[in-house]
Amino acid sequence: MRKKFPLLTIVNTLIYLFIMAPLLVILISSFNSGEFLVFPPKGFSLRWYEEVLTGGRYTGPFLTSIKLAVLTTLFALPLGTMIAYAIQRFEFRLKNALQGLFLSPLVIPTLLFGIGLLIFFSYLGIRMFFLRLLLAHIILIIPYVVRTMLAGFSRMERSVEEASIILGASPVKTFFLVTLPFARPSLLASAFLSLVLSFDELVIALFLTGPGINTLPMTIYSDIQFNLSPSLAAVSSIIIVGTILIGLVGIGFMRWGKKT
């Protein structure tokens, strides 16, 4: 009979509480009825949620961040998937160098990455700020997709694909009808990471954005410096709840995929 370790359970619970405490503070502070961001709140009110949803200050940056995150995912997910499949299934010269190249953004500090991209895009003469942000996000997100999809493809036996080809399916048909359905959990995880990481990116936007382009993280960062009101907690709470809902939907799809 296995022994129970109540001390370990207590320690784990304290760790989880320590991690969740900042999120709970933000959620509770968002219902503050006062004019300033304080904890505990002085009263209960939904006025700051109303201001966030109808005031217009956060609407434009929110739509820009959503558009940027969706487009980044649409480009980074297929590119990262193909790169991961090529690395996992084929042997070719400079394979290790190619793998290191696509994983290098994971180890390069984002600050240096932003400076390098700013100099590079300026040299190329790319002055469309949204395009610069989109290209930077794609470059930044692809390594996460590659790492996730490498793990997904490595769990699949090559004999399954070989059996499909022996039965008459072409390699392309095998990839779309056999390989990708098997790696569906990794695809969903990659899409979730792409959306969240792109939506949340701040440092790159500070270097590459310009007049007329403002993302939600930039607006929040500016308000933290110059306008510390409970509306910050309200918009942050909306992001937290939205992220949790997206994660729950992704988990539901993953469970549905396993059953089917």
Distances from the Cα of 105 to the Cα of 64, 133, 140, 209, 222, angstroms = 24, 15, 6, 20, 26
Instruction: State the Cα–Cα distance between residues 87 and 94, nearest whole angstrom.
Output: 10
Distance, in Å, from the CA atom of 223 to the CA atom of 18, rounded to the nearest integer, reads 26
Q: Does residue 94 lie in a domain region?
A: yes
Return the number of other C-beta atoms located less than 10 Å from residue 126's C-beta.
Answer: 14
Q: What pTM did the predictor assign?
A: 0.80
Lowest-confidence pick of 32-41, 184-193, 236-245: 32-41
**What rounded mean pLDDT belongs to the chain?**
81
- In whole angstroms, give the CA distance from residue 12 to residue 21: 14
User: Considering the chain, what percentage of its residues have pLDDT values greater than 70?
Assistant: 95
Range(s) of the domain holding residue 184: 61-259
Q: Is residue 55 part of a domain?
A: no
Q: What is the CATH number of the domain that holds 115?
A: 1.10.3720.10
Residue 110 lies in a domain: yes
Assess if residue 167 is contained within a domain.
yes
